[in-house]
Chains A and B, each alone.
Chain A
Amino acid sequence: MKKTIILTIAVLLAGIFAVSCDKIEEGEYLKHPNNSQQDPTDTTGQKTLFRKVLIIDFTGHKCGNCPKGHKMIATLEGTYHDAVVPVAMHCTSTYASPEPGTAFADDFRTEEGNYLCTYTDLEGLPAGLVNTLDPLSLSNAPTEWATLFANYVNVTPELSIEVIPSVANGSMTANVKLTAETACSRKLSLCVYVVEDNIIGGQIDYESDPTTIEDYVHNHVFRTSFSGALGESVKDDTEELAKAAIIEKSYTKDVNSAWNIANCKVVVFVYDTDTKEVLQAEEVAVED
């Protein structure tokens, strides 16, 4: 009896050891080592309609772990190119308040960003929302953003977005056209943001040495929204929107002198008002 038990245990142990350990050899860590292929824009040699994925990156220039989020976005852009639509939302007083007289003098926080920060009830930075505005889907692990992102690769979008931005007389206009690619019976909301690339400023990065970087390049920095943090409803019933039906909107807003228009982009996304899933996103430079 005793022998049987000990034997059983030994076999079980050996079994567990044998099956439950996967070692990845050095040099095999990456699936696409040279950022080759995987560009959904160019699978057949010509531009086709494809799903673009919104990533809202809640971040802060004094948050030493946040560059992990920035790097993940850069990695995704390196692999998926135009399919990535990032927005860097600087928030919280601990990690994003300005330090006058230092490299951290800029205050990247905005009313809308603060609102989203409260709305998502976030408990720490970095935090990301990948193609959704559902606070329950908030992920504190940039590494997980890639996994969440991959869910949308090769998924055909239900809508397409066309944006034509323009600047004149100190105000910015965005003309947005939504086209139903398939019949759609969802309630829809539309968000139109302005983000700015290439802002040089301070950033804490625990992975760099020294950890304070004075001339960090901040990309995708959220500047303003044309229609509030959560946008506005553009279809508030469940009646079917026929295929190829169009919704058009036009927004205007004053330009802030602190922005460098040459580096600004308009980010547009449309989401399901009920499930909060982002159905399609688009990003266009304000100036060509």
Chain B
Amino acid sequence: MKKIVLVILAFAVCATMYSQEIPQVQLKNLKGKVVNSQEIIENDGKPVMICFFATWCKPCIKELTAFSEAYEDWADETGVKIIAVSIDDARSTNSVGPFVNARGWEFDVYLDANGDFKRAMNVNNVPHSFLLDGKGNVAWQHTSYLEGDEAETFEMIKKVAAGESLKEEKVEKEEE
């Protein structure tokens, strides 16, 4: 038991000292092409949002609909790119394309049918979003969707686009 606690401590120390980078995992795009998770986050040094969702998840649809409505404005202002990763399994993997297309979402959509990317990103439940800075490091993340969350999300995107560090703010808050 002691050892386990030690391991957890060691991990925790490391976790606070290093920012998370995107792991390399295979995904598929809607055309069936195998893509690498590190390729899809290329955005010329501008921020990228990765949103995990599922077609059966109501809050996910609300979140992405809200993002979709604001996407044009956000992209104009900050250059942010939004990537939607579906964790639908074989039951509905093949429905994701039509589902997304019909809603007119302009995001890049990828399929993570067996949850490999979801696990690599340590996602517990959907919706779960990660905001990456221009270097591909996770600057901020958010789980669940509560009505109006898009306002906070946009604040964060603006900060990251401007090169502000969110880390310090987090540390300060914790000290309060």
| Direct contact between the two chains A and B in their complex (CB within 8 A) | no
- Identify the B interface with A (CB < 8 A): none
- Identify the A interface with B (CB < 8 A): none
